[in-house]
Every structure is written in structure tokens, then in C-alpha cells.
């Protein structure tokens, strides 16, 4: 039998990463990577978040989030979250204030206090984060003990994920690398990038006749919308319409010359998606598809929210913001792996963030 050590796998990944780092881009897009029980999600500012979990089937689920901003001099911060999916039965057996001892390979590394009536989470100290970073790249036993229970964090996949974090932030071969340190200082690591600024513009107030727009133009409007969804086939309500499809069209006023049109597009076991188009308020409508998987619209903001599975312990979210001319994709995020940590998901792991001002007219 051929045995391959974790250190050998990491070394191979380092060699591949060094070549990629040499061509590091001056702009960044979101990046996601997962391996076994760990995942990495970096956003467009080059901030990276690594989330680790307990092994599947563990009676006491737990998760840790390690966050590091881009640029020199940036340290890793950490948070701990105990699984509370179905929390009524879990918290009933725990004290309101739960004191946990953190243990790494049998050595105690301080205490953590959890409010079991709150979010079931707490920040990790600098010493605890450093102990985690030292233990995760090698086979280790990492656990939190208290209240008659034991929560154990898996280290499977952590080394590869932390290496990818170093690669994305340009730290490989520097003194600030987490996995493969080198002699170079971190002055030359990739800098943080500013979040794009999007100025939200409040939509115009409805005009007389807007409520009857879909009824008056339903047939022509459907014909105009159809080409935008024919290729991906993700709007069956439009591509295979039933009689009276115009009755499912909803129109919102955006400006004196622009409208937002929406209609249901698809329905799955535990998710649904609606199409949203920006159109001219008079023919030719010249529709521009924003998304065919939206969930809601309110005051110049289109949102999408979808479960990763029926249990609702993992979600993805997106937001598009009206800037007076177009809808700009301003947020994209997930809540992490489907690991029964919390109803609604454990963490906010964005690949796209933006800055901007509140809606103005």
C-alpha cells in the first residue's frame, strides 16, 4: 500500500501555486475552493475566509471561521460556532452560559464562553487562533470540552485550504504565509482592493397606467422578453407559457423612461426563481435581463435567496442595486457548507462585496 503524507500533498500544491502566483492579477474576482471538511471563500477585495467543520455524522457539530484581510501586517482572526440546528433540544441541556476549554492534542489553550441563548458563537483569542494554525496542517485533535459534551473540529482539508488562501493573497514564500513560509518579508504581498462603489438611486414613483401596463402590452412584452431566456431555458413559465401568461407579469416604475418587469420563471422542490428585466416604458421595449433566479424586489433592490438543500442549513444570496441606469450586481454570498450548524446557515462568506451610499433621487 502506498501511503502519502499530508506534508507531501501540501508540498505538491505549493509548487503549483508558485507558478500561478507569478501572474497574480491587479484586480480580483471572488474565489471559492473546498477540500474535505474545509472551504475557502475570498471576495473581490482579496479578503479571505476559511471555514472548517466537524466530520459528517458527528453528534456535536461545530464550525470555525478564520478570516484574513489582504495586504502586509494582517493577522488571522477566528470565531467558533457550536451547532444549534434544532436548538430547542440542544440548548435545553446546556447552561445559559457555557464555558468551554479548547484543547489541541490534549493541551488546553484557554477558555471560551458561549451564550447558549444567543448565537452559539464566540471570538477566538489570538493565542487560540495561533494554536489552530499550527495544528491544522498536520494530523491533530482539536476540540472544545464543557457542559458534559465534546465538540471536535476536523482537520481534513485544512492544509490545502490555507495554502489556497496564501496563494490568493500572494503570501507564498513570505514570512506571513500560513503554510509555506519563506525568507521574503510581506511588504510585497498583494494589497487589498477597494470595494466597488455603487450609488443606489431610488426608483421613481408609479405613474397613472403603470398597473395596467402588463395587461395592455402583455403579448408584445412576452415576445420581447422571450429571446433573452431561450438559450439557457431557465424560464419555463415564459418559454412554455400557459394561457394568460401576461397576468403573471408585474411592472415597477424605475424612472421616467424605464420600467422593471418580473414574472415567475421556475419552481423546484424547495426553491423558486423569478425573472427581472429592465425595459423601455414604450415600444420597442429592448429588455435587459438582470436575473432569472430572483426572489424579491423592493425599492430599487433585487434579491435572490436559495437553499442549498431542503433542511435550510445552507443558503446562497445575491443582490442587484439600481443606480439610475442599470441594476449592478453588488453582493454575492453563501453561508458555508451544509453541515447542520445553524438554521439559515452558519457564516457570511461573500465572493462579491461593494460599497456605496443609500438610495437617493
Cis peptide before 284 (omega within 30 of 0): yes
pLDDT tops 70 at residue 178: yes
pTM of the model: 0.88
pLDDT digits (tens, 9 = 90+) for 214-235: 999 988 999 999 998 877 778 9
The whole-number average pLDDT for the span 59-86 is 95
pLDDT tops 80 at residue 7: no
The Cα–Cα gap between 328 and 59 comes to 43
289, 282 contact by CB (below 8 A)? no
Question: 10 Å Cβ neighbour count for 211?
Answer: 11
**Closest to 229 (Cα-Cα) out of 159, 181, 290:** 290
pLDDT tops 50 at residue 71: yes
* Spacing of C-alpha 328 from chain mean position: 18
The whole-number average pLDDT for the span 63-79 is 98
Sign, CA dihedral 307-312-314-315, equals: positive
174, 152 contact by CB (below 8 A)? no
CATH fold label, 6-188: Immunoglobulin-like (2.60.40)
pLDDT tops 60 at residue 157: yes
Q: What is the mean pLDDT of the chain?
A: 89
Question: Domain spans of the chain?
Answer: 6-188, 210-352
* Residue found by looking up cell 499550527 in the block: 134
pLDDT of residue 18: 34
Q: Phi-psi category of 223—alpha, beta or left, where left has phi over 0 and alpha has psi -120 to 50? A: alpha
pLDDT digits (tens, 9 = 90+) for 261-282: 999 999 999 999 999 999 999 9
pLDDT tops 60 at residue 170: yes
In the sheet with 258-267, reading across from the earlier edge strand, the strands are: 250-253, 258-267, 272-280, 288-294
pLDDT digits (tens, 9 = 90+) for 336-358: 999 999 999 999 999 999 997 55
pLDDT tops 70 at residue 359: no
pLDDT of residue 24: 41
What DSSP character marks residue 187? G
Helix (H, G, I), strand (E, B) or coil at 87: helix
Burial 1-23 (b: 16+ CB within 10 A, else e): eeeeeeeeebeebbeebeeebee
Amino acid at each position: 500500500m502506498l501511503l502519502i503524507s499530508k506534508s507531501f500533498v501540501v508540498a505538491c500544491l505549493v509548487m503549483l501555486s508558485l507558478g500561478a502566483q507569478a501572474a497574480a492579477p491587479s484586480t480580483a474576482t471572488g474565489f471559492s475552493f473546498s477540500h474535505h471538511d474545509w472551504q475557502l471563500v475570498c471576495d473581490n477585495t482579496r479578503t479571505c475566509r476559511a471555514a472548517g467543520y466537524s466530520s459528517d455524522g458527528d453528534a456535536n457539530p461545530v464550525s470555525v471561521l478564520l478570516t484574513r484581510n489582504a495586504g502586509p501586517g494582517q493577522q488571522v482572526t477566528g470565531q467558533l460556532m457550536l451547532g444549534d440546528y434544532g436548538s430547542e433540544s440542544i440548548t435545553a441541556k446546556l447552561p445559559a452560559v457555557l464555558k468551554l476549554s479548547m484543547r489541541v492534542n490534549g493541551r488546553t489553550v484557554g477558555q471560551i464562553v458561549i451564550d447558549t441563548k444567543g448565537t452559539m458563537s464566540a471570538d477566538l483569542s489570538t493565542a487560540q487562533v495561533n494554536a489552530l494554525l499550527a495544528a491544522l496542517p498536520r494530523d491533530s485533535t482539536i476540540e472544545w470540552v464543557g457542559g458534559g459534551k465534546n465538540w471536535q473540529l476536523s482537520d481534513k482539508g485544512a492544509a490545502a485550504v490555507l495554502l489556497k488562501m496564501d496563494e490568493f493573497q500572494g503570501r507564498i514564500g513570505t514570512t506571513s504565509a500560513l503554510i509555506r513560509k519563506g525568507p521574503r518579508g510581506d511588504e510585497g504581498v498583494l494589497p487589498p482592493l477597494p470595494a466597488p462603489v455603487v450609488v443606489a438611486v431610488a426608483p421613481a414613483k408609479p405613474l397613472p397606467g403603470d398597473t395596467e401596463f402588463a395587461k395592455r402590452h402583455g403579448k408584445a412584452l412576452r415576445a420581447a422578453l422571450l429571446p433573452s431566456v431561450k438559450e439557457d431555458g431557465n424560464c419555463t413559465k415564459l418559454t412554455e407559457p400557459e394561457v394568460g401568461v401576461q397576468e403573471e407579469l408585474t411592472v415597477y416604475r424605475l424612472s421616467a423612461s424605464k420600467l422593471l418587469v418580473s414574472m415567475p420563471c421556475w419552481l423546484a422542490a424547495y426553491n423558486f426563481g423569478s425573472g427581472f428585466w429592465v425595459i423601455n416604458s414604450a415600444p420597442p421595449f429592448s429588455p435587459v435581463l438582470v436575473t432569472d433566479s430572483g426572489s424579491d424586489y423592493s425599492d430599487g433592490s433585487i434579491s435572490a435567496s436559495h437553499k442549498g438543500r431542503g433542511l435550510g442549513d445552507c443558503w446562497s444570496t445575491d443582490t442587484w442595486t439600481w443606480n439610475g441606469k442599470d441594476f449592478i450586481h453588488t453582493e454575492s454570498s453563501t453561508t458555508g457548507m451544509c453541515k447542520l450548524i445553524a438554521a439559515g446557515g452558519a457564516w457570511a462568506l461573500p465572493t462579491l462585496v461593494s460599497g456605496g451610499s443609500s438610495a437617493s433621487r
